Structure 1
Amino acid sequence: MLNVLAVPAFQDNYLWLIHDGTHAAVVDPGDSAPVLAALAAHRLSLVAILLTHHHADHVGGVPELLRHFEVPVFGPHNESIAGISRHVAEGDEVVLPEFSLRLDVLEVPGHTLDHIAYFSPQQQWLFCGDTLFAGGCGRLFEGSPAQMVASLAKLAALPDSTQVYCAHEYTLSNLRFAQAVEPGNAELAARVPAEQSKRDRGVPTLPSTIALEKATNPFLRHEKHAILTRLADNGFVDTREPIAAFSALRQWKNTFR
């Protein structure tokens, strides 16, 4: 049986281990030490590394892991990340034969220009790096608002039951912003104490689901009347054009405290 293990790293990263009790693949290993410790603790052998984008907190552990394991490293086709041996793009499949697991590659630019995500139709798992967060989305360091809107729409079109494994524990801060944006959202109001309870118990708020994100994440709801009105009332935008509204929402989040 396949499982996904959260490996905390740095201040708020999660490095994801897909495993069957014997073999493991790691997603976005920004630090090798916690990955090596988790592999040893669970008696797992690494068989693959999956990268979503080039930021150091997602790729920094690759060279050290390759010193311990001779494994394929999958990553974005336009990225020159050290260690990548198999460049992949939209429409490609990553096949992990040890698990009989297939992952579809989705191009989701916005946070970075060449960001990708991995989706398992079989398990309905999504590993989306820093594109979609629980209650939020990544900052636009390289891509445009239009690119990020298209990328988020692509992810939102996945089955509602899809489990969302993003790369950071930003949920509570994202939900505080979401409530400022859409204070009348009853599903959002119910989500906040549920996620707070998880953090109080020291467990991850992840994975989320596509259904939950569509109901509570303002960046998937930027065309909703209540959010457009809130943006206008707070002076962030004077138009209801979707890309402009999304851009205003992202700029508001960038300065929200």
Structure 2
Amino acid sequence: TVVDLSADFRLQEESDYDEWYDGHERPELLAEAVYALPELNREELAGADLIASGGCNATATILGLLPLVEDGILDGDEQVVVDLKVGSSEGGAGGGEAASHPERSGVVRPYAPTGHRHEVEIGAYLGLDVSFTVHAVDMIRGASATCHVFPGEPVSKGDLWGAYRGSYEDEPFVDLVAGGGGVYRYPEPKAVAGTNRAEVGFELDPGNRRVVAFSAIDNVMKGAAGQAVHAANVALGLDETAGLEFRGLHPVGAP
């Protein structure tokens, strides 16, 4: 079993690689690859030979929106606007002026206002047309997705609780954090740093018929290496949590 952490097999259409990347040298392999997000593809991952790790921004967004799609609250015709705040490690090991501490410190910098290639990844797996903007912020690791959606039919808080619990109540690495008390009452990257966990949540704005969905991950764990290990565990029939039990660098709520 091969788990590929690059973008080479995340998409299944050769035309998407022609449009968003620089083409693809082995398009005949695209149909064999399984997207490495067990919350989305657990059955397909079992026994898979080629696994494609998802992009960190796409992972955060998919986890935030997936319950709304699975429950039928979103059917693909709605307006979806996603705002991402990401840490400097998302830029990879290459570095560069924009990632250096003197330049990065204190910023909230739009760096991909439109045309981010993770848009097509989200659309491919959720069937949604997403408008997507990414900001670089003064953070090393972490991704925070705030998703504004406008369902065609009215929804209640109860509908949202039902959707998110239905999707995630049995998931070992997804915590539902939705409007409780205290500092960490919505998903927060600091609370999941160093872990394979994702926090997801929501809020309802009935006056504007808007649902705000939140998701927070560690981009180098749930958005990359941790996701790869989780997917490999599923593919090989191992305990899904094997090697991924670490409670994190700031273990909020840990015993």
Q: TM-score, normalised by structure 2?
A: 0.25
More relative contact order in 1 or in 2 (CA 8 Å, sep 6+)? Answer: 2
